[in-house]
Amino acid sequence: MWGLFNTVVSIPLLLPILSQIWFEKIGVNFNEIQESPLYRMESIPHNYSSLLGNNQADKILHEYNPLLNASSWDNYEGINTIFFPLIYPETLDYLPSDISWLEKIIQFSKNEKKVLDREHLVFILRADNEKSILAYYKSQKLKLATYVSLWNPRNNKTLSWIYRIIHRDIDHYSSLYNEPMAYALQYSWSYYLHQWESDWTDLSHWCIRVPWLYQRWLHENLPWNYETTIIIHKPYMITLFKN
């Protein structure tokens, strides 16, 4: 693709431009929200920050839902359809669209390199502004990316490792904290990707918190039967750098 350009241009500078071509935008209507664990389960706040992520919601509303008046929402009533990008635009400042380029950016371990050819790969990575990013690559191409919240290191740290993901209930509850873990994806004994309030800082007790609409998509679209590999790569060390 890059051979189409006659002028030598920095690839990171092109990513925000090219992203407009291959961004996939998803629409979710109010009925879907009402029928989801987000709406039914106790303790989950009904606000756009819960849907889209605390530090992502304003940008997504402004750029993808300009006709919505977020201040008038009352338990999402009045929403017809809300749109969001599977790849949150700002993450393209750090992530290449192809795993082959990701390998050039990050010094993966020998064990990590052994699984980079798998069809379904989820990465947890740290960016240079100390934001945590979840990136899903399908068939070597970036499919979804969002900011997430890891364990608070003052209590326990999210550990570097390679895991396989297994689906759990969409209305899963934590037996330890008795808190909702909607659309749970288990990657270790008591550790999950799940919906809960998140931004890009370290907020979680044990798991990895993902904004609701992104976590719902992962739960519905990642294959079952341990076919998805998750690489948690040095989660508290900066390994991705802007541009």
Whole-prediction pTM: 0.86
Element (H, E) at 125: strand 120-126
Q: What pLDDT shows up at residue 155? A: 62
Condensed to tens digits (0 to 9), the pLDDT of residues 118-154 reads 999 999 999 988 899 999 999 999 999 999 988 765 6
Q: Which is higher by pLDDT, 174 or 126? A: 126
Question: For the ranges 67-71, 75-79, 153-157, 191-195, which has the lowest average pLDDT?
Answer: 153-157
Which two three-digit tokens encode residue 212? 């609701």
| Distance of alpha carbon 230 from alpha carbon 219, whole angstroms | 14
Written as one string, the DSSP assignment of 13-52 is HHHHHHHHHH--EEEEEHHHHHTSHHHHSTT---SHHHHH
Condensed to tens digits (0 to 9), the pLDDT of residues 206-234 reads 689 899 999 999 999 999 888 999 999 99
Condensed to tens digits (0 to 9), the pLDDT of residues 9-68 reads 334 444 444 444 456 899 999 889 888 887 888 777 788 888 898 889 989 999 999 887
Domains of the chain plus CATH, in order, are 25-85 (no CATH), 89-232 (2.40.440.10)
